[in-house]
Structure 1
Amino acid sequence: MGAAYFYHLTESPLEAALLTLLPRALGQGWRVEVRGRDEGMMERLDRALWTGPEESFLPHGLAGGPHDALQPVLLTSGGAAANRPACVMAVDGADVTAEEGAALERVCVLFDGIEPAAVERARHQWRELTGGGLEGQYWAQEAGKWTRKA
Structure 2
Amino acid sequence: MQVDFYHLTQVPLERALPQIAQKILESGGRLLIVANDETRRGQIDQLLWTYSADSFLPHGQAGGEDDSRQPVLIAGSPDAANGARHIALVDGVWRDEALDFDRAFHFFDEERIREARAAWKGLAEREGIERRYWKQNDAGRWEQAA
Q: TM-score if structure 2 supplies the norm length?
A: 0.90
Return the match for 1:126 from 120, 125, 138. 120
Cα–Cα, structure 1 residues 71 and 43, in superposed 2: closer, same or farther, change >3 Å? same
Work out the percentage of aligned pairs sharing the same amino acid. 39
Task: Specify the alignment match of 1:39 in structure 2.
Answer: 38
Alpha-carbon distance in 1 for matches of 2:20, 2:124:
21
Task: Specify the alignment match of 2:23 in structure 1.
Answer: 24
Task: Specify the alignment match of 1:137 in structure 2.
Answer: 132
Alpha-carbon distance in 2 for matches of 1:104, 1:9:
22
Whether the 8 Å contact between 2:36 and 2:76 is mirrored in structure 1 is: yes
Q: TM-score if structure 1 supplies the norm length?
A: 0.87
User: Equivalent residues in 2 for 1:65-84 (5 A)?
Assistant: 65-84=64-83
Alpha-carbon distance in 2 for matches of 1:5, 1:130:
13
Q: Does 1:109 align with 2:103?
A: no
Alpha-carbon distance in 1 for matches of 2:78, 2:105:
17
Unpaired runs of 5+ residues, structure 2, are none
- State the one-letter code of the partner of 1:5: D
Cα–Cα, structure 1 residues 61 and 127, in superposed 2: closer, same or farther, change >3 Å? same
Whether the 8 Å contact between 1:19 and 1:56 is mirrored in structure 2 is: no
Superposed CA offset, 1:69-113 (max 9, x none): 11111111114120111111111133421x651x4220110111x
Q: Does 1:147 align with 2:143?
A: yes
- What's the CA shift for 1:3? 0.6
- What's the CA shift for 1:66? 1.4
Alpha-carbon distance in 2 for matches of 1:136, 1:15:
23
Alpha-carbon distance in 2 for matches of 1:100, 1:111:
15
Cα–Cα, structure 1 residues 36 and 111, in superposed 2: closer, same or farther, change >3 Å? same
